[in-house]
Structure 1
Amino acid sequence: MTDSRPGASRDAPRIAYDGRLVCALEVTDLERSLDWYQQALGFEVVHRLDAWGWAELSTHLPGVGIGLGEVEQPHIEGGPAITFGVTDIDSARRHLESLDTRFDGETRLVADEVRLATFYDPDGNTFMLSERVAS
């Protein structure tokens, strides 16, 4: 199959992905953040480089991880919102709220298709919970 996009070359190398995705986020306190990600989201530390202020956590999605890098001033404005699909958004939200997680308003219904709830980690990185609505 050839790429018919303008400027695409038949000889262009393709990227050989290995099935992993790490979403790297900046945090001000690695220990505090690791504790929050483990308690709030149930993630587990799989790799840690203390000399670099870096840790990687596994999620409940095969091949998808969260990387946390400690910095003095996280750059969080305008970044992506990592969205986790859940089967029970109300239960997930109650759990996060029990840990004093900050939410951006109420859970919203969008186009009668999906319910969304935006929340933030301790440094203000944006996340969303997403629950598909049965048709």
Structure 2
Amino acid sequence: MATVEDLTGGAAAMGYDGGLTLAMQTASLDDAIRWYGDVLGFTLLYRVDEIAWCELQSPVARVNLGLSQVESVTPGGGAVPTWGVTDIAAAKAALEGHGVRFDGDIVEYPGMVKLLTFFDPDGNALMLYQDLAQPG
């Protein structure tokens, strides 16, 4: 049986920063930004047309929605929970220690973000991000 120390030790090794971004696909950034704003009250944080991506702030503190425009949305693809960490390389090392499977290496968008996609035992995609735009 796992102890409280066993359960919290993994959290400390990961270095979570308290943020959560749910990444989803959309056929149209314009339509999705409008819908999430009008229907759910989300606020556009930023949009990067060069990579067909935007993030919206939800009414929940530090919980954002990231939207990726794609040619064909995968029905039932669902959201990809994307947790913020302070040091993505250290977090990757912690995951490697547990034999976690990755979808490639850390991807960096200079001055913006570092991303790492990995999978749970059922094959569900999860991501980590390190915010490069924030000091610290």
| Relative contact order higher in (CA < 8 Å, ≥ 6 apart) | 2
Q: Greater Rg, structure 1 or structure 2?
A: 1
